[in-house]
Amino acid sequence: MRALSRKNESLRKIELLAGVNKFADGSCLVSFGDTRVLCTATIETKVPMFLKHSGTGWVTAEYAMLPASCQTRIEREVVKGHQSGRSLEIQRLIGRSLRAVVDLEKMGERQIIVDCDVLQADGGTRTASITGGFIALYQAMQKLQNKYKLPELPINDYVAAVSCGIVNGTPMLDLDFDEDSNAETDSNFVMTGSGGIVEIQGTAEKVPFTENEFLKLLSMARTGTIELIQLQKKVVNSLNPKSEEE
Amino acid sequence: MRALSRKNESLRKIELLAGVNKFADGSCLVSFGDTRVLCTATIETKVPMFLKHSGTGWVTAEYAMLPASCQTRIEREVVKGHQSGRSLEIQRLIGRSLRAVVDLEKMGERQIIVDCDVLQADGGTRTASITGGFIALYQAMQKLQNKYKLPELPINDYVAAVSCGIVNGTPMLDLDFDEDSNAETDSNFVMTGSGGIVEIQGTAEKVPFTENEFLKLLSMARTGTIELIQLQKKVVNSLNPKSEEE
Amino acid sequence: MRALSRKNESLRKIELLAGVNKFADGSCLVSFGDTRVLCTATIETKVPMFLKHSGTGWVTAEYAMLPASCQTRIEREVVKGHQSGRSLEIQRLIGRSLRAVVDLEKMGERQIIVDCDVLQADGGTRTASITGGFIALYQAMQKLQNKYKLPELPINDYVAAVSCGIVNGTPMLDLDFDEDSNAETDSNFVMTGSGGIVEIQGTAEKVPFTENEFLKLLSMARTGTIELIQLQKKVVNSLNPKSEEE
Amino acid sequence: MRALSRKNESLRKIELLAGVNKFADGSCLVSFGDTRVLCTATIETKVPMFLKHSGTGWVTAEYAMLPASCQTRIEREVVKGHQSGRSLEIQRLIGRSLRAVVDLEKMGERQIIVDCDVLQADGGTRTASITGGFIALYQAMQKLQNKYKLPELPINDYVAAVSCGIVNGTPMLDLDFDEDSNAETDSNFVMTGSGGIVEIQGTAEKVPFTENEFLKLLSMARTGTIELIQLQKKVVNSLNPKSEEE
Amino acid sequence: MRALSRKNESLRKIELLAGVNKFADGSCLVSFGDTRVLCTATIETKVPMFLKHSGTGWVTAEYAMLPASCQTRIEREVVKGHQSGRSLEIQRLIGRSLRAVVDLEKMGERQIIVDCDVLQADGGTRTASITGGFIALYQAMQKLQNKYKLPELPINDYVAAVSCGIVNGTPMLDLDFDEDSNAETDSNFVMTGSGGIVEIQGTAEKVPFTENEFLKLLSMARTGTIELIQLQKKVVNSLNPKSEEE
Amino acid sequence: MRALSRKNESLRKIELLAGVNKFADGSCLVSFGDTRVLCTATIETKVPMFLKHSGTGWVTAEYAMLPASCQTRIEREVVKGHQSGRSLEIQRLIGRSLRAVVDLEKMGERQIIVDCDVLQADGGTRTASITGGFIALYQAMQKLQNKYKLPELPINDYVAAVSCGIVNGTPMLDLDFDEDSNAETDSNFVMTGSGGIVEIQGTAEKVPFTENEFLKLLSMARTGTIELIQLQKKVVNSLNPKSEEE
């Protein structure tokens, strides 16, 4: 039995609280059960070197866990002097996923940084970061549009992510930390509002998996991301772009 | 006039929410107005090198600001590869201040790390960290006492901190970011429940200050810390040590 | 048309030269067309911290590109002081993939490090590293078995990897650098000799992809890895374990 | 009894040797008893980023201890790869203290760096650095004035610093290393020639201190800094600005 | 007896394979017996800071050993975060040696980087790097001349290097790893085609050496470098400059 | 003409002041003209990893320049996060040179670190460091002998070093900074009291040099080091080993 009698194909309780930060250009406190990530988006007027004088914008992400977010305290990455491979891998995934639904040319030569700081980690922090990061990004894009009088919002679809895995032979949606630790196969899926796939990652943790098993996970992820995107739509509808102006 | 018609000798709205984190051994979300710091305390069974085989414990602190906590986004310290001088200075102050009310020998050879992560910064983050960090530390000490059957709680007093400054010639208590930016003199005071002084820092930002001006700031700080410690006492009284057990 | 009139479902010319290094415990110079990776395996008698006193061994990998391996010279990572996110991501993938076919317990408390140094990079360096790294690892395992009189070789299957992508709407196997730069979707598959899947990575570079497109890539990857594993088998059969002894 | 029968309210033997370095723009070898710091000042024609195109100058300081300056050899900070929190804290204090008596606008867009390298450390290295650093800075300012034909010397007061502490219940001025190691309260005061206070730092090392105790330390510091500034005046009067020209 | 019955004044088997890398502007795989170094040269259109707007070019070198190149695996330098003193010393020597035969002014404001990556290390890697690096540099200079229509090739002599040492009292040329480990005196000589000396390094490893001993080593080195330069001349003659054009 | 009418084969004014540091186990302030290096020696009871449980000691050196020691201020190495190649090369040379006259086995399992900190740099800092470092080391060895009741002093000869160069075609001894900057050939020689050679380094800065030129430099160096060692002998004779005891 899963915690709280959850069904195998059910998400945990999802919350998306937009506008929780006073100074950021966009923000969202996202919860997937006990996993809680503070996503904030900041507009900058400079772009990475390779885009200078291109007229095109950029969206990037950074990811970190607070030291006491886990069951065992983790050392701050600054103490070791560099980000771990895991953090770099996750923030590259978040950035790619968000850029998949952004029209970078419409942004003009500006950058939005989406910071995903994990306050509490109970599995699925990267998928929560993408799902909540989209809301923070959306808010910042509204502010960008207002401030620079852009003809259109530079976002062309929704994007959300969810994990699936095979635990003791059973495919399950949205694994919590304990399930994830026991999974034979662990996977993450990033999908858009119009049904396209942005990213698939599947990893055999203990034994290789079969094509059929993988297709079951893909199907569960489809159900999960549809539900997540419906929640995103509600939040987006409630955002009053006027309130973003300073 | 100060924001929200605050009087010169008044604190901002103070909130101390204990137990906000599922995995930490103690936690407190502290607000001084719009300044918000998440303080978490973790018990470790190892101590720093210089205390090995001494039978004595240690309390230390770490301090960091989330990138979007400020009016202008600040780069993560891990990106530069090391903590800034300001962060190191602040976390050393927090650690010293908390140790001033701890009986390290009563802890046994264990360490408590108090992490202070600034979610939103509107002035006074170091004083909020000390004030809220005390609550997180207190909770962790209760857990330590229960877990290791310590005869007494290794805490012997309350400790809180507040900033004062001279802004346009006027002494003021608990400066917000705008006041702090305009202050001629900036100071921080750390005091205990029994009235002792743990730390005094006074800095002339623009013009040197006089002894009389300094004494006025000291007197205001006395009033402020008394009020903060009353709030701490309420929170401490509401903590049920039983609930800390696993 | 692909370079050298290659068919969409064909691999480039593959070469696996075992035993090219005098001092390593195992080695393989692998070529996928113009991509050339020198894989070497080293036996160490210490294991990572988390395995101390467990009696269990470990296999890990490191990956780097020589500065002039690419069309544009890349700076050495040591000059920046840390490995890039890309390098860390790739070496974590190589390590996971190789461990999927290793029986770590049979190794005893020893570690094998597989170094994958890219001499020339023309696309698919991570998949070449896994495919050639397996041969270097195999040789080192034979040496380990001889040296420590292990009852069995601690390897239980073959493992190989290949990339696939959608280029101008056409699914293609084993992309070279130019194809990879133009791909709409880029993916990597790691599979075993008995047909299990170890890792799937699919990324939309420009537009999201559909489930059907993904299934076509998966099917191509199946064909490619079967062929790669046949080549591995030939090399393994030619290895005379006696020659590994010092 | 204090070493060398010193009275509680007496300084150690103070020496300020100006012009000891052939290549620096200003220099002073300062001794507070056995504490010896080599202070050198260098003029640069570039300013920190935040002052570019402001027409305003800057004064900053760097502080380090030679490895064998202490009773126990300390590792070079470059070996650990970063400055310690203590070093950063001290050099920030020295820089703030010196800037308190400089008219940055009169400097034009130039910077003076004051390097304080501790040759021998017997307590009070930060206060010796400020006191001697002022002389090095003064010399460099004379050179700056001559070289760039500034209408006025950009210095508007003297500045000196001294430590005080409570040792075994007794307030004492200018602690040496042994006294400092045993102090219950440790404090540093930075004051100007016209009697203003630039910086106050008071720290309870073992037990909190009272307001009355603190006022006694403040009064002793007043006496000490007046004496130090008289010595600075003698040195300044002996400096022949002509000799600074190349 | 030396390995393979080599005479004391004989080189090991030397091989210089030019053009082994598809993407570099020049390349040479050099072997001194079992020592194998991959030298690649890259043309860049930027020069170091101190040469900006000078119209003059630069030649520099970088040196590294692959982890499994030695009898005992060596950790990648990026893992420690910085290059070792040994690597820096060697790459500075290679750069100086190559610049000694280059007319930097004739290059125009361009830089050539010569990367020397040791694939297998059996003694003499620095002398092999210089000898092989010259070939890679020569090829790149031909390409530079063609591309920028330089009136002359900016190379004015050959340069090669060899080690000598005193092993058990006997002077020997071109030490392999075992000989080097047992040498009382170890030396390296860099000489030009016209007989000039570019660099001499002699180090007593166990006991100081005499002037006479040193002169014997110098004489052996003369013989060795003459032979190496004859091999370089053969390779250079075989290079068809037309083939360097893109 | 050389500065101060010095002859080509003459040293600058040399000073060796022993015992200048209160806390170090040995110390020497050495001057070669305007070059001034503070050498201090520290005894440690731990040895490097590779000597643990060998019963053998070690001597090592560290070298650094103070920021304002040069004509142009140089950045502290800690600011860049690592030592420069030049510093590492020099400190490796100093360590090797000093070890050449030490009987490491007689030291027992202890280490002496010789720190060479350049206060003022006018050419020849590495040769001054070796010459002065020997005195600091000698003092520390006397202390080591006394403290651990060693039967003999673990030093078996004197060692000193000097630079020579060819400046405008003329061979010269002990170059100052200006001469060094203009030299065609630059060399350093380390020699012992009994006439052995410990290290020879000769570098062509502009044009290759001939064997005859090099022999002239070697001969000058011989004269110079004999004179330096005579000065060392005077200092050593004046050291009263009793005064080293604590």
Q: Tens digits of per-residue pLDDT, B140-188?
A: 999 999 999 999 999 999 999 999 999 999 999 999 999 999 999 999 9
pLDDT higher than 60, residue D236: yes
| Contact residues on chain D for B204, CB-CB shorter than 8 A | 100, 196-199
How much is the pLDDT for B245? 42
Percent of chain A residues topping a pLDDT of 90:
91
Q: Once rounded to an integer, what is the mean pLDDT over residues C161-181?
A: 96
Q: What is the pLDDT of residue F241?
A: 52
Q: C112 and C42 in contact (C-beta within 8 Å)?
A: yes
> Residue C245 pLDDT more than 60?
no
The reported pLDDT for the residue numbered F48 is 95
- CB pair distance less than 8 Å for A200 and C199: no
Q: Could F66 and D40 be called an inter-chain contact, meaning their C-beta atoms sit closer than 8 Å?
A: yes
Q: What is the pLDDT of residue D80?
A: 83
- Min Cα distance D194 → chain F (Å) is 31
Whether the Cβ atoms of residue B216 and residue D112 lie closer than 8 Å to each other: no
pLDDT single digits (tens) D40-91: 999 999 999 999 999 999 999 999 999 999 999 999 998 888 899 899 999 9
Portion of chain E with pLDDT greater than 70, in percent: 97
Distance from CA of E227 to the nearest CA of F (A): 19
Residue whose C-alpha is closest to residue B191's, from B157, B214, B215, B164: B157
Cβ-based contacts of A73 with chain B (< 8 Å): 24, 42, 44, 113, 115
A 10 A CB-CB count for B120 gives 21
Residue B81 is predicted with a pLDDT of: 82
Closest partner residue to C78 (CB to CB) among E21, E66, E83 is E83
pLDDT at position C152, please? 96
Kindly state the tokens that stand for E105: 């002014």
Q: Most F CBs within 10 Å: which of D29, D65, D119, D120, as the mutation test of the F interface?
A: D119
Q: Confidence band (pLDDT; 50, 70, 90) for C125?
A: very high
pLDDT reading at D245 higher than 50: no
Contacts of F191 in chain E (CB under 8 A): 208
Residue C244 scores a pLDDT above 50: no
Residues of chain E with pLDDT under 70: 240-246
Residues of D in contact with B196 (CB under 8 A): 204, 207-210
Contact E211 F198 (CB under 8 A): no
Residues of F in contact with D122 (CB under 8 A): 22
Residues of B with CB under 8 A from a CB of D: 81-85, 88-89, 91-92, 96, 100, 187, 191-192, 194-204, 207-211, 214, 218
Cα distance between residue A148 and residue F80, in whole Å? 39
Q: Which chains share 3+ C-beta pairs under 8 angstroms with B?
A: A, D
User: Residue A240 — pLDDT band, cuts 50, 70, 90?
Assistant: low
Q: Which of C41, C71, C81 sits opposite E23 (nearest CB)?
A: C71
- Interface touch B198/D192, C-beta < 8 Å: no
Q: Min CA distance, D186 vs chain B (Å)?
A: 10
Percentage of chain B lying above the pLDDT 90 cut: 91
Name chain F contacts of D83, Cβ cutoff 8 Å.
78
Chain F residue numbers with beta carbons less than 8 Å from the beta carbon of E92 are 85, 89
Separation of alpha carbons E246 and F4, rounded Å: 59
Which segment of C74-78, D132-136, F33-37 scores lowest on mean pLDDT?
C74-78
Of E27, E44, E68, the CB nearest to C21: E68
How far apart, in whole angstroms, are the C-alpha atoms of residue B121 and residue D140? 39
What's the rounded mean pLDDT across residues D189-216? Answer: 94
Phi/psi of residue C153, nearest 5 degrees: -70, 130
Cβ contact, residue pair F42, D119, below 8 Å: no
First and final CA of chain C: distance in angstroms? 49
Give the pairing type, strands D26-32 and D35-44.
antiparallel
Nearest CA in chain B to D187: B200
Q: What is the pTM of this model?
A: 0.89
Q: How far apart are CA D155 and CA D243, in angstroms?
A: 19
Max CA distance (Å), chain C = 56
Q: What value does the mean pLDDT take over residues C140-144?
A: 97
Residues of chain B with C-beta less than 8 angstroms from the C-beta of D195:
210
D76/F62 touch (CB, cutoff 8 Å), yes or no: yes
- What are the residues whose beta carbons fall under 8 Å from the beta carbon of D218, sequence distance 6 or more? B211, D164, D189, D200
- Beta-bridge partners for E116: E39, E63
Beta-carbon contacts of E46 under 8 Å, excluding residues fewer than 6 positions away, are E111
Q: How far apart are the first and last CA of chain F?
A: 50
Choose from F211, F216, F222 for mutation: most chain E CBs within 10 A. F211
Strand B35-44, strand B26-32: pairing: antiparallel
Q: What is the pLDDT of residues F133-174, one digit of tens each?
A: 999 999 999 999 999 999 999 999 999 999 999 999 999 999
E strands in chain E: 14-18, 26-32, 35-44, 58-65, 111-120, 159-167, 170-173, 183-192, 197-204
Q: What is the pLDDT of residue C2?
A: 94
What is the average pLDDT value for chain B, to the nearest integer? 94
Judge: C34–E22 Cβ closer than 8 Å, yes or no.
yes
Residue B92 pLDDT class (50, 70, 90 cuts): very high
What interface predicted TM-score (ipTM) does this complex get?
A: 0.92
Nearest chain D residue to B194, by CA: D208
The CA distance from F201 to the nearest CA of chain E, in Å, is 5
